[in-house]
A and B are shown apart, each in its own frame.
Chain A
Amino acid sequence: DAKTTQPNSMESNEEEPVHLPCNHSTISGTDYIHWYRQLPSQGPEYVIHGLTSNVNNRMASLAIAEDRKSSTLILHRATLRDAAVYYCILRDVLTGGNQFYFGTGTSLTVIP
């Protein structure tokens, strides 16, 4: 599976936008970019995914670079409940099987 690189930790002030980066320079043309988050003492939670185009949903936006070698998860207005570990995962079932490979993610701290 293609690797992703994320900062270990980030901080954000409450009610401000947060941009969580992810580098995936070895991404293949068929890899989908997924973001999950894990709140304290909870299971991972789906946030968003995309292939080439930017994506928006009620939780977040996903901005994908034109060359697809990086992406950014955007939380438009951070709340205290957004404090979590955010995982950027590449997925291509043809090469990577059924598994989601969770890395170490980015631990987001939201400051009141």
Chain B
Amino acid sequence: EPEVTQTPSHQVTQMGQEVILRCVPISNHLYFYWYRQILGQKVEFLVSFYNNEISEKSEIFDDQFSVERPDGSNFTLKIRSTKLEDSAMYFCASSEQGPASNEKLFFGSGTQLSVL
């Protein structure tokens, strides 16, 4: 069964450093998302992306964050200057049908980001 893959599974970085989290969505999907989950807290929406541009973003997704689809398969989340509070599990997701009330999201297993 096709799946969303994320690399790396764990990323440790120093505060202030840039990190790039990578995702390979399901091949025929056109809509891409990043969510995050701080330890013990809810899964939170960060951003949605379609047709090479952001379609929606949350308050969390400030100027330190950016997303890109550099080629036909990868979807990346960059954090420009990491802060301690960026430590979380980051989930990539994709969907085939796009933002519809009956949309189904497919999530990856996540990248655990630890900022020291």
**Which A residues lie at the B interface, using CB under 8 A?**
30-32, 36, 38, 41-46, 49, 51, 87, 91-94, 97-104
Contact = CB atoms under 8 A, between A and B. Distances in A.
Interface string B25-51: 000000001010000001111001000
Contacts of B102: 32, 49, 51, 91
A44 B91 contact: yes
Interface of B: 4, 33, 35, 42-45, 48, 55-56, 58, 91, 93, 99-110
A100 B42 CA distance: 11
Nearest 9 A/B pairs, CB to CB:
A43-B107, A102-B43, A99-B45, A98-B56, A98-B48, A98-B99, A32-B101, A43-B91, A93-B99
A74 B6 CA distance: 31
B99 A43 contact: no
Contact of A92 (B33, B101, B106): B101
A64 B4 CA distance: 30
A41 B4 CA distance: 15
A98 B110 CA distance: 20
B115 to A, nearest CB: 19
Contacts of A103: 42
A87 B100 CA distance: 18
11 contacts: A30-B101, A36-B105, A43-B4, A44-B105, A51-B102, A91-B103, A97-B56, A97-B99, A99-B48, A102-B35, A104-B42
